[in-house]
């Protein structure tokens, strides 16, 4: 069962086509592979990546002038992301991951830089990419980066260590955020595109994870990596702006991904509750179960609707930081709750690996942590409220 989301949004024919394509791929290719991919140890499903690439599902968010699908609006990106993550959130996030690399390239890069690094992502055999911000001692406070970028002649020398970098073992290009002067904090943060074959770049071991194992994460070491000045995105000190703009968009897409996961959990629980009988009737006829399903439906709709609202604000060119934080906070916590509720509805079978629910519950936890924890989202929202005095 695939529940349709009624959000008052009149979809264009192009949006409907993209959504239908993503939904078909999710049900036909992603969902059947979810358990197998979760069991694979530190391996991304490269065959699924290749299949999705041929359909344009890894590059639909990139501009047409570079060969992409030209879906520049975040509303459509969110709708497609939700469908892919309905199939499986870990695999869905993998297939859309080049969009995170593209964000700062589009926000800060020159036309030549965009052509150079976005065009390869739109072919039939696109490389994977990565975004490197997090460091062993730096997570939520991105202005406190310790990775240094020292000007040296016609380029820069980058030195430092990044951790929990998604796609690092496979990435051909990595946007690395470093500081030209730690004392400047956010005003010193600068973005660079580092290419995999640059001397001094090392990728560490894959980091074992609780969930979302379709995406392999690892440490990245920069041992005096010499980067040409033409690989710098924007001017010195502009990286933090590009990063924050990328975070607004990525948090909205995370909310959409969580809406897809909520929907998958609800559909699975609803199907089981109609079939499973106890005390002489289907368990959906027992109020305790029925009310839990009602709460799941409400939380699923809330996740979807908040993602859509934030995406529309973003697309209108208005500041969307508060809306993105609200959407990410509510959707990620709802995904955690909905996967728990679905598992609870299945009882002992939910705790087993017979169903995907225990996997989805492990997957959901990451969404409360990545791109800013729930605590950080509450901090962003409260600061925004303090400044404006009203919603």
Tokens of 52: 């999705």
Residue 340: C-alpha distances to residues 8, 134, 271, 334, 347 (Å): 29, 29, 16, 10, 11
Largest CA distance in the chain: 80
Place of tokens 């440490």: 219
Angle (CA) 76 47 307, round 5°: 20
**What is the H or E stretch that residue 192 is in?**
strand 189-195
Query: CA-CA distance, 323 to 381, in Å (whole number)?
Result: 8
What is the Cα–Cα distance from 201 to 158, expressed in whole angstroms?
A: 9
Give me the catalytic one of 106, 333, 370, 371: 371
3-class DSSP state of 281: strand
371 catalytically annotated: yes
Work out the burial of residue 210: count CB atoms within 10 Å of its CB; fewer than 13 is exposed, 13-18 middle, 19 or more buried: exposed
| Residue 224 backbone zone (phi > 0: left; psi -120 to 50: alpha; other: beta) | left
What proportions of the chain, in percent to the nearest 5, are helix, strand and coil? 55, 15, 25
Catalytic residues: 371
């Amino acid at each position: 069962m695939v529940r349709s989301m009624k959000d008052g949004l009149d979809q264009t024919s192009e949006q409907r086509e993209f959504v239908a394509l993503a939904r078909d791929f999710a049900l036909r290719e992603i969902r059947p592979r979810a358990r197998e991919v979760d069991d694979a140890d530190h391996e991304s499903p490269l065959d699924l990546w290749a299949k999705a690439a041929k359909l344009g599902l890894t590059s639909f968010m990139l501009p047409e002038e570079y060969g992409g699908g030209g879906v520049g609006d975040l509303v459509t990106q969110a709708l497609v992301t939700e469908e892919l993550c309905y199939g499986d959130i870990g695999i869905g996030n993998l297939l859309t991951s080049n969009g995170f690399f593209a964000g700062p390239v589009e926000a800060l890069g020159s036309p030549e830089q965009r052509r150079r690094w976005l065009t390869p992502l739109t072919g039939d055999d696109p490389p994977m990419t990565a975004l490197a911000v997090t460091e062993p001692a730096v997570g939520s406070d991105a202005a406190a980066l310790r990775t240094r970028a020292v000007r040296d002649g016609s380029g820069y020398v980058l030195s430092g260590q990044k951790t929990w970098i998604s796609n690092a073992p496979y990435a051909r290009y990595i946007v690395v955020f470093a500081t030209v002067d730690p004392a400047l904090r956010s005003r010193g943060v600068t973005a660079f595109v580092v290419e995999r074959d640059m001397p001094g770049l090392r990728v560490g071991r894959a980091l074992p994870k609780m969930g979302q194992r379709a995406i392999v994460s690892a440490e990245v070491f920069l041992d005096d990596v010499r980067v040409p000045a033409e690989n710098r995105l924007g001017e010195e000190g502009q990286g933090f702006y590009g990063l924050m703009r990328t975070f607004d968009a990525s948090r909205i897409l995370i909310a959409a991904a969580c809406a897809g996961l909520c929907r998958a959990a609800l559909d699975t629980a609803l199907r089981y509750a109609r079939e499973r009988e106890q005390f002489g009737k289907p368990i959906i006829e027992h109020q305790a179960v029925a009310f839990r399903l009602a709460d799941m439906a409400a939380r699923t709709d809330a996740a979807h609707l908040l993602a859509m609202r934030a995406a529309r604000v973003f697309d209108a060119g208005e500041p969307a930081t508060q809306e993105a934080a609200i959407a990410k906070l509510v959707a990620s916590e709802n995904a955690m709750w909905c996967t728990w509720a679905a598992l609870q509805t299945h009882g002992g079978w939910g705790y087993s690996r017979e169903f995907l629910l225990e996997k989805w519950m492990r997957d959901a936890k990451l969404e409360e942590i990545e791109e800013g924890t729930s605590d950080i989202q509450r901090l962003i929202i409260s600061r925004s409220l303090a400044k404006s005095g009203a919603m």
